[in-house]
Chain A
Amino acid sequence: MIVPSVDATEHQRLAALERYGILDTSPEDGFDELVRLAAAICGTPIALISLVDATRQWFKARLGLEASETPRTASFCAYAIHESTVFVVPDATKDPRFAANPLVVGEPRIRFYAGAPLTSPDGYNLGTLCVIDSTPRSLSDDQRTALTAIARQVIAQLELRRHVSEREEVDRLKKDFVSTVSHELRTPLTSIRGSLGLLASGVMGDLTAEARQLVTVAERNSIRLITLINAILDFEKLENGNVEMALRPVPLQRIFDRALDSVSAFAEQEGVRIDVQRTGAVVVADETRLIQVVANLLSNAVKYSHRGGAVTMRARPLDGQVEAQVIDRGRGIAADKQEKIFDRFHQVDSSDARTQSGTGLGLAICKAIIEQHGGTIGVESVEGEGSTFSFRVANTAEAVREIA
């Protein structure tokens, strides 16, 4: 037996193979189908997708052969990868390179071999798509053409697979990045917020009025930064569908009440009254998350209302769903801005970021939450007259009908 040679570019070829991350992976239908097709077209009992690494040939797909790999030294494919077209051995017993090969002398008693190189887009032969028979024979021109075409499809599958896994890797890194950054920011913020809070409280001794004022400004902004980090993390999780909604029937009035509790102090401070029209509706919702939505809409409504103004919260059944509305008579939103306000980091005008202590994520988070409830959210507004934010979610009667 003559051992197959190795090219000068072998280590680049191995690196190219490595980039596909394919070796020692589980069988996949896409590849299995291609070997079945090759065997059917060439009329052979054995067909393989063989990838040649430094020491062995490993089969991504195999038909008619038990082994999942064989040593490279006894490999026909290790010869075939030096070729640019189909490599054919009509009768291995008559070929000095293969006559003593253990796969020829013993099982599976290879006589006929034809291998089309699997050429990567950057020009490296990673292995072959090969067909094998235990009787001497040859391939017709059509069969050769077909084998070459299927080999190109193997490469196309490998490329597709690589793009998908690279994308998954990018997504995973992105997710890890957000959570790592959030963690890395929280640790120093613990010390900053802690120090400022302790100083501002006066427990560490008296500060002058001006110094206390400055420390209070710093503390307030450190808390704002924490709120922003929490919002980013929350939004990221919602966007990636990493939050499971615990959907169950909840009286909407209870959600209204809880949301009201969380914004009433702010409304009082702003001199804005909140009128709640009582509702008997029972919605299917994740209670904590829907309270978050309503509280966010209420707090926005208060924020943009004039002192002495009023905000109304109400609900009604509509098209088999429940529609809840938060209505203010504040400055309203220009028609061309109404679409965009549900986008992340979009505020009605650039002064908002400074004058209103928003994170720029509130409505984007509301939208993500409502969408995960299978609902919709929107706004109607007239500039100078006020805005009505509405969202719709399933009511219990409808949900019961769907389940039944």
Chain B
Amino acid sequence: MKVLIIDDEQDVRYIVQMSLGRIGQMTVVEAASGEEGIALARSEQPTFILLDMMMPGMDGAAVFRALRALPETAHIPVVFLTAKAMLSEIQRLKDLGAKGVVVKPFDPLTLAREIKAILGV
């Protein structure tokens, strides 16, 4: 499985790299911004995208819409990563068309399992 993590926080990307790469045995590709993420989604064709909601510039929702509008990326499942734990926020993201939502701070040991459950693999 190949995952693209789009998050402006370098440390969070590193934890995801360890959680999903080392423990989950996935290939992890990192993007530090929405623009970089969209470019990598096109070229890398990941199995799924882990997308941070709150980013400076292009935020998660804008990146998600852009990914959906592009024929090469429209099919890639997106799991949102958010620091807002409210149920209403989670529902809002699911309504956007997200495959699932992971709330920060997540458990690094079970993140891979959690995401596989969301993706149904």
Contact = CB atoms under 8 A, between A and B. Distances in A.
B11 A203 contact: no
Interface stretch (A134-142, A184-192, A368-376): A184-192
A372 to B, nearest CB: 15
Contact of A194 (B83, B84, B108): B108
A191 B19 CA distance: 11
B12 A191 contact: yes
A203 B83 contact: no
B104 A187 contact: yes
B109 A230 contact: no
Contact of B107 (A183, A195, A197, A233): A197
Contacts of A191: 9, 11-12, 14-15
Residue among B14, B83, B86 having the largest count of chain A Cβ atoms under 10 Å? B83
Given A183-B54, A203-B22, A203-B23, A194 B85 contact: no
Given A203-B22, A203-B23, A193 B108 contact: yes
Residue among B12, B85, B107 having the largest count of chain A Cβ atoms under 10 Å? B85
B19 A194 contact: yes
A187 B9 contact: yes
B12 A187 contact: yes
Given A183-B83, A183-B84, A233-B85, A194 B106 contact: yes
B18 interface: yes
Interface in A187-240: 187-195, 197-198, 201, 203-204, 222, 226, 230, 233, 237
B105 interface: yes
Contacts of B85: 186, 230, 233
Given A191-B15, A233-B85, A226 B23 contact: no
B15 A237 contact: no
A204 B14 CA distance: 13
A237 B86 CA distance: 10
Contacts of A203: 22-23, 109
A188 B22 CA distance: 21
Contact of A197 (B9, B83, B109): B109
A167 B84 CA distance: 26
B22 A190 contact: no
B54 A190 contact: no
A153 B26 CA distance: 71
B106 A190 contact: yes
B108 A187 contact: no
A187 B83 contact: yes
Interface in B1-49: 9, 11-12, 14-15, 18-19, 22-23
B18 A198 contact: yes
A194 B86 contact: no
Residue among A197, A201, A203, A230 having the largest count of chain B Cβ atoms under 10 Å? A197
A189 B18 CA distance: 16
Nearest to A193: B105
Residue among B11, B84, B105 having the largest count of chain A Cβ atoms under 10 Å? B105
Given A183-B54, A203-B23, A230-B85, A195 B104 contact: no
A194 to B, nearest CB: 3
A188 B15 CA distance: 11
Contacts of A222: 105
A215 to B, nearest CB: 13
A183 B18 CA distance: 23
A224 to B, nearest CB: 12
A190 B54 CA distance: 14
A278 B54 CA distance: 47
Contacts of B104: 186-187, 189-190
Contacts of A197: 107-109
A358 B83 CA distance: 22
Nearest to A226: B105
Contacts of A198: 15, 18-19, 22-23, 108-109
A230 B9 CA distance: 21
Nearest to A192: B105
User: Which 4 residue pairs spanning A and B have beta carbons closest together?
Assistant: A194-B15, A191-B11, A186-B83, A190-B105
13 contacts: A188-B11, A189-B104, A190-B11, A190-B105, A193-B108, A194-B15, A195-B15, A197-B107, A197-B108, A198-B15, A203-B23, A226-B105, A233-B86
Interface of A: 179, 182-183, 186-195, 197-198, 201, 203-204, 222, 226, 230, 233, 237
Given A188-B11, A190-B15, 20 more contacts: A182-B83, A183-B84, A186-B85, A187-B12, A189-B104, A189-B105, A190-B11, A190-B104, A190-B106, A191-B9, A194-B15, A194-B19, A194-B105, A198-B18, A198-B22, A198-B109, A201-B109, A204-B18, A226-B105, A233-B85
